Structure 1
Amino acid sequence: MLLAFSVAPSGIPADPAYAGAGGAADASVHDAVAAAVRIVRESGLPNKTDSMFTTIEGEWDEVFAVVKRATEAVGKFGSRVSLVIKADIRPGFSGELTAKVDRLESAIAEGS
């Protein structure tokens, strides 16, 4: 399975150590996103992060376990968490994190 997700905090964190400047919630969420991406990378699953989503590849249970841990980490940065998930569930296939893009690039090149 390929699973793309985006997770972001909102509201004031319960722990002031996770608040932005002056103790208020910071408009930038880069620290919270960094905490989530760190968990994804430490998982050992194939992954890629872009400006909008992090995509991970693996089996259902292992992928969702990583998303849960990443969401919990982001939760420290706010009183609420927004989580967006999109999945491509294709049993029997692996390496699709790069293979799908490779097939797309080949199709574009052939059409030139």
Structure 2
Amino acid sequence: MSVLVAFSVTPLGVGEGVGEIVAEAVKVVRESGLPNHTDAMFTVIEGDDWAQVMAVVQRAVEAVAARSPRVSTVIKADLRAGAVDAMTAKVESVERHLAAPPAN
């Protein structure tokens, strides 16, 4: 099974510059060894089961909470039996459709 989780962790009550604190969460994700991708809004992580992925998300939130009095977290999950490397495959599917000639 593929478990994809997109999440954001936002420290609150620490001022406008939060990049240094958010980096602590991303560091936890990268050190997990699971496939991941971070962009301007979310970090996506992929694993084989729910508990494995959510444990990393929890540690990332805890890393931010250690430096912030309040933490806001947004989580979106996609569980799919039989899928492998869904994080890459989903994007490749969209890119193939974009490259294909228009249907009549």
TM-score (norm 2): 0.90
Mapped pair 1:52 → 2:41: yes
Mapped pair 1:37 → 2:39: no
Instruction: Look up the match of 2:93.
Output: 103
State whether residues 6 and 52 of structure 1, in contact with CA within 8 Å, keep that contact through their aligned partners in structure 2. Answer: yes
1:85 corresponds to which of 72, 75, 78: 75
| Structure 1 runs of 4+ with >4 Å offset | none
Mapped pair 1:9 → 2:11: yes
- State the one-letter code of the partner of 2:79: I
Count of residue correspondences = 99
SS of aligned partner of 1:5: strand
Take 2:41 and 2:24, find their aligned partners in 1: how far apart are those partners?
Answer: 15
Query: Unpaired segments of 5 or more residues in structure 2?
Result: none
Q: What displacement does 1:82 show?
A: 0.2
Percent identity of paired positions between Structure 1 and Structure 2: 55
Q: How does 1:15-34 map to 2 (within 5 A)?
A: 25-34=14-23
Query: Unpaired segments of 5 or more residues in structure 1?
Result: 12-24
Moved more, 55-64 or 88-97: 88-97
Take 1:96 and 1:28, find their aligned partners in 2: how far apart are those partners?
Answer: 33
TM-score (norm 1): 0.84
